[in-house]
Amino acid sequence: MLHWLINVLIGIKVGLCSCAPEVHRLGVQRVRAAYRVERIGRRLPAVVNESSGLARRTDTSVWTHNDGGGRPTLYAVSLTNPGTLVDSLALPQLQNVDWEDVARQDSSRIGDARLFIADLGNNVNNRRDLAIYIVDPKRIKAPETIRLRYADQTAFPPRQRNFDSEAVFYRSDSLFMLSKNRSGHMVRLYGVPARAGNYVPAPLDSVFIKSMVTGAAISPDAKTLAVITYGKVLFFDLPGDAATRLNRPTGCLRLPRGQAEAITFLTPTDLLVTNERGRMYRLTRR
């Protein structure tokens, strides 16, 4: 009953979500006319019952994984025969406490690039075991672990529950996380080195987004950051090599396609989105 009610409330959030708050407060441009949004395939494979993260695997396939409680496995899904399972990578050394996103080491590389699985889901904000796992798909090697806690979290749980991160991206040998924005409308940016260790990151920056952030991806040319929320995608320009600041978004695309929690770039302009009902959508720049 509770799960059903949560799904209904999220459905309402998605249906009511719009770009208007960012347009009016930040001057963001609506870019719906610039994209063709199309559903591809029927559904993700049955084994992927709650897709929560996406990363390019090859030019014709992507990695995805299930949300918290699912098997500790990455699934390779075809893009040429959308929804078909073409491979899987079991990681029995790990536990899927609450896997929320997966990022690839270099968005311009394919195949053997390292992957970073973000076990950062923290709905109640009381976790003390937050981790990002470093996985090399081409080597038989135990995953390494990045362990972290947020420098600005002093209570478990805190009064303001802003220490849940479901969006992670890689840039310049670092990993960057965006808070989900459960309290208020300021999304925080954190960063840690992309190597094993124990870290206590402090916020690097923040940005106004009036919706819960559920995923992020960086373009292959490292010039654009796409942030997906319940009901829309926000685009940020990333000039130079620095990713420690968030300028205001340059574009907003309303995307009422269910509880969408995963996004990745397929080309420098085109993206793939999945939702927790197993549907896939391609966003093609016109």
For each of the chain's 286 residues, which pLDDT tens digit applies? 545 555 655 666 676 789 999 999 999 999 999 999 999 998 999 999 999 999 999 999 999 999 999 999 999 999 999 989 999 999 999 999 999 999 999 755 555 689 999 999 999 999 999 999 999 988 777 899 999 999 999 999 998 889 999 999 999 889 999 999 888 899 999 999 999 999 999 999 999 999 999 999 999 988 999 999 999 999 999 877 666 788 899 999 999 988 899 999 999 999 999 998 899 999 999 9
Q: What is the pLDDT of residue 172?
A: 86
Q: What is the pLDDT of residue 1?
A: 53
Distance CA 138, CA 121 (A): 27
Other beta carbons less than 10 A from residue 36's beta carbon: 11
Q: What is the pLDDT of residue 241?
A: 62
The residues, ordered by sequence, that sit 6+ positions from 183 with a Cβ below 8 Å of its Cβ are: 160, 161, 162
Distance CA 281, CA 38 (A): 5
Distance CA 77, CA 198 (A): 33
Give this prediction's pTM. Answer: 0.94
Distance CA 108, CA 115 (A): 13
Q: What is the pLDDT of residue 64?
A: 97
Q: What is the pLDDT of residue 13?
A: 65
Q: What is the pLDDT of residue 2?
A: 46
Single out the residue of 64, 57, 140, 141 nearest to residue 96, CA to CA.
64
End-to-end CA distance of the chain: 42
